Amino acid sequence: MHMLSVGAAGGQRAVGAFVGVFFILIGSGVGAFGAGFGGGADGLAPDGPDGLFQVVGLVFAAVGMLVVAFGVTVILRAVRFAAWLDGTRAYVRGAYRTRSVDLATAYVHQGAVTGRVGRQAISTATLEARDPATGATLTIPLESAGSGRLPPNELRALADAMSHGRGTSADDQDVLRFAETLRSAR
């Protein structure tokens, strides 16, 4: 098994966990407000013909639950995200599940993920793989968080996995060219 240097570094994981906890606390507060706003034994919300206060309370509670779920996802994504190779099979573990694709048989090409940092758009190169038999897809960042491109040995391992057993078809030639690009990256 060959681990890849993707995912958040220690400090970035801590920031992700902090942001996630912040959203959980906000969501819990909004949900508690909604539960209290809906009324109950204390008689704060009068029972109207349409139960408007109960509906508003339920909406606040639902929004609070969504915000808590978002916070949990942020924490899990920061802590769990990883990618590795086991032979020619690549694995990517996200917040809730692990996906895998055999790079030796998949159609592989270079992609990019664009995000924003403030007003600046940042583009990160990725390896995109799609299993032709199952349609399963996988995205592996080719740059590690904060430290630039993956190390040459990891790029070579990806190139070796995706070029293993390739033939002369047009798709295979595209994959082999991409593999050579990864091998020559410094």
Examine residue 89 and state whether it is found in any structural domain, yes or no.
no
Assigned domain for 172 exists: yes
Contacts 24+ apart (CB under 8 A), 131-137: 131/101, 131/102, 131/105, 131/106, 132/105, 132/106, 132/107, 133/105, 136/99, 136/100, 136/101, 137/99, 137/101
* Backbone angles phi and psi of 141, in degrees to 5: -65, 135
Residues 75 and 132 in one domain: no
pLDDT value, residue 44: 52
The overall average pLDDT reported for the chain is 83
| 92: in domain | no
143: domain range? 104-184
Task: Tell whether 66 and 126 lie within a shared domain.
Answer: no
List, for the chain, all residue ranges whose pLDDT scores fall below the cut of 50: 40-41, 43, 49
Per-residue pLDDT at 48? 55
Position 97 in a domain: no
CA distance 185 to 148: 12
Record the tokens describing residue 173, joined without a space.
């030639």
Question: Residue 144: CB partners within 8 Å, gap ≥ 6?
Answer: 5, 6, 7, 9, 150
- Domain's final residue, options 33, 65, 80: 80
| pLDDT on residue 177 | 92
Look at residue 76 in the predicted model and tell me its pLDDT: 84
pLDDT at 41: 47
> How far is Cα 5 from Cα 173, in angstroms, rounded to an integer?
27
Entry pTM: 0.72
Domain count for the chain, please give it.
2
Total count of residues recorded for the chain: 186
68, part of any domain: yes
With respect to residue 90, please indicate whether it lies within any of the assigned structural domains: no
Based on the fold, state whether residues 56 and 110 are members of the same structural domain: no
Q: Which of 64, 80, 96 is a domain's end point?
A: 80
Q: Are residues 55 and 109 in the same domain?
A: no
